[in-house]
Amino acid sequence: MTGEKSNPLTPSQHESFFSEDYFYFGDVVNPPATSDRQAQAICELLSLEEGSSVLELGCGYGRISNRLAEKGVRVTGLDISPTLLKKAGSKAAARGLNVEYVLGDMRSLPWRDRFDAAFLWYTTFGYFDDADNQQVLRAAFSSLKAGGRLLIDHINPFAVLRHESPISYIWQRDDDLRIDIMSNEVLTDRRNCERLVVRDGCVRRSRLSFRQYGFSELSRILRDAGFEAVEAYGEEGGAFTCDSARLVVVARK
């Protein structure tokens, strides 16, 4: 990948990458116990209580949104993938949950001053170029009430850059495989994922690229979007260090 410039995520790439295959391997990549723990961490980091209103940007198949709804939080989930939103809605209905799932682009949100909190979990921030990533933050800011909080769960670039590149991750469900090959573009601060799915006798390939941000840069662009009181945490709300696998940022409107 060295010297090859990645283009930000396009709608067709998104649908190819976040497809039914993504849902199929979901509980293998993030087992239910992990998702339960992460939903609890989000509640604590955002001070969510029963009746609080929260917006998840890039909600996917509702892995986190439905769990928050089970805790009595009023949840709206937005995603650009009709396939994953249908899965999210079906799971919510099966569990008797009232979650508002909306098809849309996180760069252009229809709400103003509506939510107590919003969040982007599991590296759902950074898909676009810098200007559009900034627009995501501005849109999130507008959707929040005064004093509202925004949480971003992001990969920690300092920890990633110490690992060899490329690096492969393999997940198996029955006889099916998902292989993610991760590599870094040091000149553009982007991380690439080449995905290979071997399922039901078929092989499918897809690709994702996202921008990596350190805390100082995230803090700057959050403040540029209007946020203040930016705080950094490690994975699931622990202390953040250069060795932390995740960088979790909470900012206040």
Tens digit of each residue's pLDDT (9 = 90 or more) over 163-210: 778 999 999 999 999 999 999 998 999 999 999 999 999 999 999 999
Assess whether 196 and 132 both reside in one domain.
Answer: no
Which pLDDT belongs to residue 128?
95
Is position 6 within any domain? no
Which pLDDT belongs to residue 4?
41
Is position 119 within any domain? yes
Assess whether 173 and 220 both reside in one domain.
Answer: no
Assess whether 189 and 133 both reside in one domain.
Answer: no
For residue 50, which phi and psi values (nearest 5 degrees)? -60, 125
Is position 44 within any domain? yes
Burial 27-64 (b: 16+ CB within 10 A, else e): eeeeeeeebeebbbbbbebbebeeebbbbbbbbbbbbb
Assess whether 196 and 245 both reside in one domain.
Answer: no
Assess whether 148 and 33 both reside in one domain.
Answer: yes
Which pLDDT belongs to residue 13?
76
The stretches in the chain having pLDDT less than 70 are 1-11
Assess whether 131 and 201 both reside in one domain.
Answer: no
Is position 161 within any domain? no
Q: Which long-range contacts (CB under 8 A, 24 or more apart) does 16-20 make?
A: 16/206, 16/207, 17/193, 17/195, 17/206, 17/207, 17/208, 18/60, 18/79, 18/81, 18/83, 18/84, 19/81, 19/83, 19/204, 19/206, 20/83, 20/87
Is position 3 within any domain? no
Spatial distance between the Cα atoms of 204 and 187, rounded to a whole number of angstroms: 29
Is position 183 within any domain? yes
Which pLDDT belongs to residue 2?
36
Is position 159 within any domain? no
Crossing angle, helix 215-224 and helix 130-143, to 10 degrees?
60
Assess whether 146 and 243 both reside in one domain.
Answer: yes
Query: Secondary structure of the chain in the HEC alphabet?
Result: CCCCCCCCCCHHHHHHHCCHHHHHCHHHHCCHHHHHHHHHHHHHHCCCCCCCEEEEECCCCCCCHHHHHHCCCEEEEEECCHHHHHHHHHHHHHCCCCCEEEECCCCCCCCCCCEEEEEECCCCCCCCCHHHHHHHHHHHHHHEEEEEEEEEEEECHHHHCCCCCCEEEEEEECCEEEEEEEEEECCCCEEEEEEEEEECCEEEEEEEEEECCCHHHHHHHHHHCCCEEEEEECHHHCCCCCCCCEEEEEEEC
| Overall domain count for the chain | 2
CATH at residue 114: 3.40.50.150
Is position 36 within any domain? yes
Assess whether 98 and 122 both reside in one domain.
Answer: yes
Assess whether 138 and 219 both reside in one domain.
Answer: yes
Closest C-alpha among 131, 123, 81, 130 to residue 102: 81
**CA 176, 181, 182: angle at the middle one, nearest 5?**
140
- Check if the beta carbon of residue 73 is closer than 8 Å to that of residue 101: no
Provide the residue range defining the domain that includes 178: 167-206
Assess whether 96 and 179 both reside in one domain.
Answer: no
